[in-house]
Structure 1
Amino acid sequence: MNMLLTLIARPDVEEVVIDWLLGRDELSGFTGEAAWGHSRDHGQFNLVEQVTGRQRRAVFHLQIDSTQADPLIAAMRDELSGLGLRYWLVPLLDSGAIE
């Protein structure tokens, strides 16, 4: 079964995450985009972020086989610890190309 792994990263660690993902043999590619993170916990927000209630974030979407999910997340925990990444993993019902 295919899964969709979504990673959320701070902009200051975006390039580190990109380099790490590009170095993974089990990944054929991924999608990245800019996003806003919203939180009630403003402890790490600067003044402008506190007023607006949002912080910039980098989001990565990876389509992976379910057998790859646990090993990949374990590798992230080992090799990307301390970067403050967030993730979620959901079943991917369908995917394909429309050409």
Structure 2
Amino acid sequence: MTDVLLTLIARPDVEELVVDWLLGREELSGFTGEAAWGHSREHGRFNLVEQVTGRQRRAVFHLEIESDQAQSLIQAMRDELAGLGLRYWLVPVHDSGEIP
């Protein structure tokens, strides 16, 4: 099987919901989360401060997972987390491991 890195981007107001959902998934052994800024020229959903700075806070999650499991997970998100405005991408993982 080929491993991929699934990256999820979420608004801060839905971060805890996404964390709880991911923690409840049996196929995941863990994931990494971090705070980030989303930058865009499309300011339709930005508040005034965000429009001036051109950025919004975001929560980012990284999951290393088998490719076929990633597709199933994405479909489950479409079914169970619809309406949260999540964004994602998949990239191949050429190597990974632990350096003790």
TM-score, normalised by the number of residues in structure 1: 0.99
Q: Deviations over 1:26-56 (max 9, x none)?
A: 0000000000000110000000000000000
The whole-number CA distance in structure 1 between the counterparts of 2:83 and 2:76 is 13
Could you tell me how far 1:67 is from its partner in structure 2?
1.7
Report matched runs for 1:50-65 at 5 Å: 50-65=51-66
Q: Give every structure 1 segment of 4 or more consecutive aligned residues whose post-TM-superposition deviation is greater than 6 Å.
A: none
- RMSD (CA atoms): 0.4
Partner of 2:13: 12
The whole-number CA distance in structure 2 between the counterparts of 1:16 and 1:67 is 24
Report the identity percentage: 81
Partner of 1:21: 22
> Unmatched 5+ residue regions in structure 2?
none
SS in 2 for 1:89: strand
Instruction: Supply the AA of the counterpart residue of 1:87.
Output: Y
The whole-number CA distance in structure 2 between the counterparts of 1:69 and 1:58 is 19
Q: How many residues align?
A: 99
Partner of 2:75: 74
Partner of 1:43: 44
